Amino acid sequence: MNDPWITIASPELTAAINPLGAELSSLRDGEGRELMTDADPRWWTGRAPLLFPFVGRSRGDVYRYSGHEFPMAQHGFARRMGFSPVDQSDHAVTLRLEADAQTRAAYPFDFRLDMRFALAGATLAMTATVTNRGEADMPFSFGYHPAFAWPLPYGGEAEDHRIVFEQPEPAPLRRVGEEPGLIAPDSISSPVDGNTLAPTHAMFAGDALIWDRIESRSLLWGVPGRPRLRIGFPDTPWLGLWQKPGAHYLCIEPWAGMADLVGFTGEVWDKQGIMALLPGDARSFRMDVSLLKD
């Protein structure tokens, strides 16, 4: 049986976190209105998986390290593993995943992944900290994958919702290519008008929209003139937007890493966005979600 969700609260927000995957599973406002996916199984039962030790799909669901091939499912294994609470209060909790025999079979590195959730007023601050506890350089990437309600519970139709970036975003986008889950080598024109994207379900018929050249480190999600969510992602240089067309969510996914390119045959160090964490070092990735009512 899975452990029960852990609840933290402030006067403005209540968050529930599933220890399985340290997954943010519910975020409600002060009136109890849900701001995240309804997890309708017709579309996708995920809510906010953590992407570790790799973001996206490895070609053939394997990667190569030091002359050996290792199995790796899409988005890594952290989302399917139990985390243990190591620090908890009414408004904050830290959950931890550490390397064990199961993880070393697929990822031969002595890691620690701490995931902290903290509520202050109308902001949920999430911080993932990856630590290399081994003696070799550790290749990894990390990403967030939260699914926010579309439409949000503040009136307006789905087609009234907008993504408003912090900065204009004219750069071309990447898309999934012919090999499922892998990135096509060519780019497509940006659908962003200045700093504003009007998302439609049809945009996601070919899978995610992927920015590998993004100037913004925050965005707004919702209907202009109504309460909206501000999503901050100061530590991740790439961004994905995704949904199953027609579902009641939009995934807003800050990434430090990306799936393999179509046809990729290189070693792990050649994968897009792979970072090297030196022995004893740690690196953190923050994502903030704020409810703006004005």
pLDDT score recorded for residue 193:
97
pLDDT > 90 fraction of the chain, expressed in percent and rounded? 99
Residue 2: the pLDDT is: 64
Q: What is the per-residue pLDDT for 1?
A: 46
pLDDT single digits (tens) 219-259: 999 999 999 999 999 999 999 999 999 999 999 999 999 99
CATH fold group of domain 6-292: Beta-galactosidase; Chain A, domain 5 (2.70.98)
Mean pLDDT of 116-141: 98
Q: How confident is the model at residue 294 (pLDDT cuts 50, 70, 90)?
A: confident
Does the pLDDT of residue 123 top 60, yes or no? yes
Domain range annotation of the chain: 6-292
Mean pLDDT of 49-64: 98
For 208, counting Cβ atoms within 10 Å of its Cβ (0-12 exposed, 13-18 middle, 19+ buried), the class is buried
User: pTM value?
Assistant: 0.97
Q: Tell me the average pLDDT of the chain.
A: 96
Q: What is the pLDDT of residues 259-273, one digit of tens each?
A: 999 999 999 999 999
Handedness of CA 178, 55, 15, 80 (dihedral sign): positive
Are 15 and 26 within 8 A, CB to CB? yes
